[in-house]
Amino acid sequence: MVTGDLFYSPTMSESVDNRNGNKHDEYNNTHPDDVDWKLPIAFNKPRHTATIEGVNCITQTWRMKERMKTVSVALVLCLNVGVDPPDVVKTQPCARLECWIDPQLMSPQKALEMIGKNLQLQYERWQPRARYKQSLDPTVEEVKKLCTSLRRNAKEERVLFHYNGHGVPKPTSNGEIWVFNRVSRLASLIFHCRITYTQYIPLSVYDLQTWMGAPSIYVYDCSNAGIIVDSFQQFAEQHEREYEMEKQAVQHNRTAGVASATAPSYKNCIQLAACAASQILPMNPDLPADIFTACLTTPITIALRWFVMQNTSKLVPKVSLDLIDKIPGQLSDRRTMLGELNWIFTAITDTIAWNTLPRDLFQRLFRQDLLVASLFRNFLLAERILRSYDCTPVSFPKLPPTFQHPMWQAWDLALDLSLAQLAAVLESETLFVHSPFFEEQLTAFQVWLTLGSKSRNPPEQLPIVLQVLLSQVHRLRALELLGKFLDLGPWAVNLALSVGIFPYVLKLLQSNARELRPLLVFIWAKILAVDSTCQADLVRDHGHKYFLSVLQDPTIPSEHRTLAAFVLASIVNNYPAGQEAALKGSLVSICLEQLGDPNPLLRQWLCLCLARLWHNYDAARWCGVRDIAHEKLYTLLQDPIPEVRAAAVYALGTFINSVTKRSEHANNIDQIIAMTLINTVSHDMSPLVRKELVVALQWMVLHFENSFVTLAVAEENSRRDPVVETLSPFTGQSSFGNLPSLSYGSVYMKLWHGLCSLDSDPHPSVATMSQKVTNHIRNQVKECSVPKEVTEAKLPSISLPPSPSSRASFLTKGESLPTVSATSEILRPPRVPLHGSRTRKTPPINTITEEADEVLGFKNPLTTSLFVEWNCAQFAQPVSLESETESTNDIESRAHYEREWRYLRNKKQRRDAKEEQIRVARGRLESQVFHTRSPQPPEVVTFHPFDKHLAVAAKDCFGIWDWQTGTRLTYCTSRGSKMARVTALGFINSHDVALLMTGSDDGSVRIWKNYCNMLGRDPTLLTAWQALADAQPASKSPSAGVPGSTVHNSASAGLITSWEQRSLTLAVTGDVRIVRLWDAETELKKQDIPTGADICATCLDTDGSGTLMALGCGDGSVRLFDRRLPPHEARVMTWREHTAWVLGAYFRGTATGAPRLITGSLSGDIRFFDLRKNSSVNTVQTAQGITAMAVHNVADIFTCASMNQCISVYNMSGQNLNAIKSYEGFMGTRIGPVSCLNFHPYRVVLAAGCMDSSVSVYASEPRR
């Protein structure tokens, strides 16, 4: 007997009393009802709860398909100064100003020229680079010549046609405007006198369309201008009809002519008309005659005049029209009064348009062409002013009415506040006080952000935020608010981009202000997460340098450096120009220097950034080789965060695939990387990591395809080779596994075995991906016909790989052997001596490598994952605001209320169960409250602690029953191998939203959510992994031949598990010589603790606090471990008092606080151990030979099932309380041989599964 009191630690007794989950600590602690709130929750990270997919949002709607520019402007003025048109009777006095010039103050010809010159200057303010041509009082021929000339020079760009018809008759209903004839023009020019007659010539809009072509924009400043708009559309349709007729004629007779290449698009031309078809222009002498033109080209001047004339100004009753002309400043200088008013006007009209117009129309009119945008902004003012004089400006496309929009009141207030200080400012410009307009609008935007959501209307201040970015005074606040808005989701990003935010934030990257850095990297991360095409704009404007400087600055918080890493990863993603620019900026070294940063998200994105940088980019790979990037990434393969490990695997995979020209050096590096991956992460607990492993290894298969095909051919031949068939039955164990250094051939062998192992991965997604890779090779084997002799000649020193099977494969760098079942035979010696493969240098092995080198260039992947896209999508979702439905920190959220309800339910059930626990010591446990038949004989049963769920495992299936109502909730397969049976069941997070854990005897563990088929949805596999891969197998149990045993005659315990909720640890053992501890938080193997026994482990229990662990073995020994000690020193006690297979080991607390362990064996002896003593303190002998036992967690009872089909219930003193021999009911039949027993964690309720496929539940009742 090993060990004794020397190994005892005072903390042992404490640890047993600190149990959680299904244990009894709630009844001994001072505040037991708070335990649920303190327990952590496993498998609830986004990688478990979210779908691994990319961002799903509409992109590119904001970016114009084609930008357009108005390159030519035709200014056609038909004024005939001094002569009124015959169809208009003007008032006296009358509006006279044209382009703010009074024509009566100079000669008619000079006035005409001055007006033309002024009009051009007014337009040049909006489009200074356009080509302007004036046509003053023209003839039809001059108009034709002008229009055709401008169209020819403009090519596909836009041409503007401005028509002032104040000196000619109104347009006709036939669609004609008026110009002059040559005679009247000549007389006027020759005699320099006013002639008494004028001949007006009509010009058809149909002809004008033909000359102007498309795209074009027309401005009509004349009475009845709406007629022109109506006629224009009719003629546009006529043009289309004629085009179709001509096209058909050409098709009938191809020699008759050739139709024009493209259909006319006159219907898409833009038109702005001063008034409707039946209206005449206002003649108020205080207004200019060309009021419509004034609104379109000098909006601030006319707006000020009109505002003063309205008598609505409250603060400035004494401002005159003359004083308005003295307002100081320049329109382009926002620091002056005039410039600030122009800035405010631009913001307000943009806001009105954005909030009123459909998005596509707003993009077309206000973002496609600078001149068109300016004209339409000013058109909104024209509508407001002209409607006050009973005129309705008309446009095409037609705009909704905007003259009563609330933002006009903000404009009036801004004018009022500015004019109120005009007198003082004229005396001294230093007294000018800037308008609070933008500050107030930002406050309104902030209020919306506080109260707004996706379901509400978008914030109307968004265009104003764009304008504020131009101001250094409010820029910081505007960027902060913009960032909060973009954080609302992809819809908000698309909305901001549609407003036109992009060029502004792009220009801000030129700023050196450090205070803007966090805001700009956040904003750009949001933009690139939704629309990655912005990468080209950033590289073109050298914006990537900004993010490189942020990433390499250690003084910047890691959160912001993470955003910079994501932006850079987006810039280099499948964009060679971005990769080249980033490599020149030393991105490789910048990332490698920070791989040890404490922030896991930064580590993750540094890996992904590197991966995208050297993806298909050889120069970046060799830069990484020089900096030993691959070796630095190895350390992250054991990172505590699964996403970081997956990112590191992905980076190493793209590293392998980035070679454009193969060489021996490159091949050596890739082989080392592949072997490191297969030995490190092939049995990672997280399927996320294993998926990336398959994606990474596929590049080895594709680049060294010939080698793998040769191996697969050998594998195919080995199935027909009787000598090879005598090799080890374990898959994946290469005969080269024990070598310190591997030859080329054995590298490919090891990789092939690793992929074959992943073919049968417990997680179906991993298995499917791996099968795509291996099937690619196997399909080629089927297609080729390589003679067996040739294959064997190629591989004289390579151990042939066994074929894949349903068992897991075991790969390791060490000398440990794979897990073996009890039915497996002893390993036979390998076919080829191990030393042979190390010493022989045969040409065929080198040939394998060289064959792969022949195929160069980039390969198309066989399988892909959405891991990287999913990580990118995280930046598109809110990161600073938690979802209302998911946030449990918000005590007002639904999730918090649901959790609170569950914890109150748990508290009540624990309290209600106390009476049963006390009463049962004097009562009986024989009332059958549930009975059903399972489709197959049950092997494991377990209760949910708080829901009325009974989980049953039978062969490779599990089922859930409601044991109160008798309803079967679900019954499904565990998705493992048909040969594997489920030997372990358990509930994880049982205090909250529970998950079901199933463990199979092939070493696989699966975690299921929605296990009870809630709302008609099938159970969903949350995660799965191979828990005992590469573990050394244990020997056969001597208990295999126990007489009368019906349960354990296979001598295989299968998989044994014990779950600790408090430490989120899963202890796993079985037919192996270790106990493996898995950390559910990091999804990594914590440690392997040797059992010290050559026999299989049969039962396992943990104390719940992460300290003690008890193990029962097939030889009857019971072993106690202290997990705080090093693995090889962890076994602190061994009791060898049982002589047969140990059926159960259970930690229990006592009233005195002394820890206790209860064990039972097949022989029927139940022993009670004080953990401080080296022998049992009590023994209860039950029936000779038992098949199952169970001990209640809290109540002082235990139960045994004897081989004579009887369940006996005992108290802790060994007194037999009652026996259950038959099922209830009339002439109840005898129960079948019992295969499994289990108590409810709190209720005094017992579940029993029998070999006749029946499952029963028995409850306690008072002794009569």
- If pLDDT is split at 50, 70 and 90, which confidence band does 837 have? very low
At 106-118, the pLDDT tens digits run 999 999 999 999 9
Structure tokens at 8: 């005892």
| Residue 921, amino acid | A
pLDDT of 322 reads 79
* Average pLDDT for 1235-1240: 96
Please check whether residue 579 is in contact with residue 613, taking contact to mean a CB–CB distance below 8 angstroms: yes
pLDDT of 25 reads 43
Residue 1257, pLDDT > 50, answer yes
At 1147-1198, the pLDDT tens digits run 987 766 677 999 999 999 999 999 989 899 999 999 888 999 999 999 999 9
pLDDT of 723 reads 47
Whole-number Å distance between alpha carbons of 1049 and 1047: 6
pLDDT of 472 reads 85
Whole-number Å distance between alpha carbons of 1111 and 899: 35
* Average pLDDT for 32-39: 79
Most confident stretch, 78-92, 637-651, 653-667, 770-784: 637-651
* Average pLDDT for 664-676: 94
Burial class (CB in 10 A: 0-12, 13-18, 19+), 882: middle
Q: Give the chain's length.
A: 1264
| Residues in a beta bridge with 1067 | 1058, 1077
Residue 972, pLDDT > 60, answer yes
Of the listed ranges 110-114, 583-587, 657-661, 1227-1231, the one predicted with least confidence: 1227-1231
Closest-CA residue to 1068 (of 1107, 1109, 1128): 1109
pLDDT of 332 reads 86
Please check whether residue 1244 is in contact with residue 1192, taking contact to mean a CB–CB distance below 8 angstroms: yes
* Average pLDDT for 815-829: 32
At 502-539, the pLDDT tens digits run 989 999 999 888 999 999 999 999 999 998 888 999 99
Distance of CA 37 to the CA centre of its chain: 29
pLDDT of 1180 reads 94
Whole-number Å distance between alpha carbons of 33 and 217: 76
DSSP 798-812: -PPPPPP-SSPP---
Alpha carbons within 13 angstroms on the beta-carbon side of residue 15 total 23
* Average pLDDT for 569-580: 95
Residue with tokens 């016909």: 785
SS3 907: helix
Structure-model confidence comparison of residues 87 and 657, the more confident one? 657
Residue 240, pLDDT > 60, answer yes
Q: Is the dihedral of CA 79, 83, 86, 89 positive or negative?
A: positive
Closest-CA residue to 1108 (of 1157, 1061, 1043): 1157
At 990-1049, the pLDDT tens digits run 999 999 999 999 999 999 999 987 777 889 999 999 999 888 888 755 544 343 344 444
Of the listed ranges 344-358, 649-663, 742-756, the one predicted with least confidence: 742-756
- If pLDDT is split at 50, 70 and 90, which confidence band does 702 have? very high
Burial class (CB in 10 A: 0-12, 13-18, 19+), 173: exposed
pLDDT of 789 reads 46
Question: How high is the mean pLDDT of the chain?
Answer: 84
* Average pLDDT for 222-231: 94
Q: How many other C-beta atoms lie within 10 A of the C-beta of residue 1151? A: 7
SS3 86: coil
* Average pLDDT for 1201-1207: 91
pLDDT of 254 reads 62
- If pLDDT is split at 50, 70 and 90, which confidence band does 1104 have? confident
Sheet strand arrangement including 1065-1070? 1055-1060, 1065-1070, 1074-1079, 1084-1090
Structure-model confidence comparison of residues 871 and 264, the more confident one? 871
852-856 long-range contacts, CB within 8 A, separation 24+: 852/662, 852/667, 852/703, 852/704, 852/705, 852/706, 852/707, 853/662, 853/663, 853/667, 854/706, 855/703, 855/705, 855/706, 856/660, 856/661, 856/662
- If pLDDT is split at 50, 70 and 90, which confidence band does 934 have? very high
pLDDT of 266 reads 82
pLDDT of 280 reads 92
At 442-499, the pLDDT tens digits run 999 999 998 866 677 889 999 999 889 888 889 999 999 999 999 998 888 988 988 8
Q: How many other C-beta atoms lie within 10 A of the C-beta of residue 241? A: 9
| Residues in a beta bridge with 1120 | 1110, 1133
* pTM flag (> 0.95): no
Closest-CA residue to 1193 (of 1140, 1149, 1257): 1149
Element (H, E) at 647: helix 642-657
pLDDT of 888 reads 57
pLDDT of 475 reads 92
pLDDT of 746 reads 81
Residue 138: DSSP 8-state: -
Whole-number Å distance between alpha carbons of 283 and 285: 6
pLDDT of 806 reads 36
Cα→Cα distances 630→627, 780, 856, 873, Å: 9, 31, 22, 27
Whole-number Å distance between alpha carbons of 1083 and 684: 7
Residue 194, pLDDT > 80, answer no
Residue 79, pLDDT > 70, answer yes
Residue 408, pLDDT > 90, answer yes
pLDDT of 50 reads 87
